[in-house]
């Protein structure tokens, strides 16, 4: 797979990152209020297995609208040919280090979009001035673990009771 990244002027114009992949356009950008209906649909139609692993906040429209105006946390969408196929976040909770979370629309898994979404979210974290990002992942979520390990996350703690790993990456 070859990627062509457009120059920074083009990126600035759309306030996101463009990438042309096999004549398809991918855009990574911050979540906007006009994305709420489509994001609501994406999140509420995740498979039951995906919902077991990905539950960072309620998936109702009111909550999603509130996320758009968050001053501490950062939320992003991955758009393929005009359709939101991915959602990621950098949340601070009570930390000074952001926690990453992400999901990919049903039917778009195992095509490399999750890896791209994580990489772009980490680049955004670096641009925002963060030096480290953490995440929590269930041990049995092997697909997510493969992505996180591939991009450089390392296990720093195990919670055997929750069957969960805490991972970290230095940017």
- What is the tens place of the pLDDT at every residue in 46-86? 999 999 999 999 999 999 999 999 989 999 999 999 999 99
Helix (H) or strand (E) holding 27: strand 24-30
Q: Which domain holds residue 156?
A: 4-170
Number of structural domains (the chain) is 1
- Please give the Cα distance from 17 to 5 (Å, whole number): 8
Whole-prediction pTM = 0.85
Query: What tens digit of pLDDT does each residue of 92-119 get?
Result: 987 789 999 999 999 999 999 999 999 9
Work out whether strand 83-91 and strand 99-104 pair parallel, antiparallel, or are unpaired.
antiparallel
- Please give the Cα distance from 103 to 109 (Å, whole number): 9
Banded pLDDT at 162 (limits 50, 70, 90): confident
DSSP H helices in the chain: 8-14, 36-44, 48-53, 61-68, 113-127, 142-151
DSSP H helices in 19-59: 36-44, 48-53
**CATH number of the domain within which 66 lies:** 3.40.630.30
């Amino acid at each position: 797979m070859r990627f062509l990244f457009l120059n920074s002027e083009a990126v600035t114009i759309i306030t996101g990152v463009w990438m042309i992949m096999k004549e398809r356009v991918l855009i990574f950008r911050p979540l906007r209020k006009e994305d709420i209906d489509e994001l609501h649909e994406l999140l509420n139609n995740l498979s039951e297995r995906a919902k077991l692993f990905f539950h960072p906040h309620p998936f109702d429209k009111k909550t999603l609208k509130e996320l758009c105006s968050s001053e501490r946390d950062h939320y992003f969408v991955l758009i393929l040919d005009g359709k939101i196929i991915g959602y990621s976040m950098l949340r601070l909770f009570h930390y000074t280090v952001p926690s990453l979370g992400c999901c990919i629309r049903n039917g778009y898994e195992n095509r490399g979009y999750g890896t791209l979404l994580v990489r772009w979210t980490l680049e955004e974290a670096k641009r925002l001035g963060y030096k480290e990002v953490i995440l929590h992942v269930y041990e049995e979520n092997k697909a997510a673990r493969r992505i996180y390990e591939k991009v450089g996350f390392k296990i720093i703690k195990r919670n055997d009771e929750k069957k969960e790993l805490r991972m970290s990456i230095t940017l």
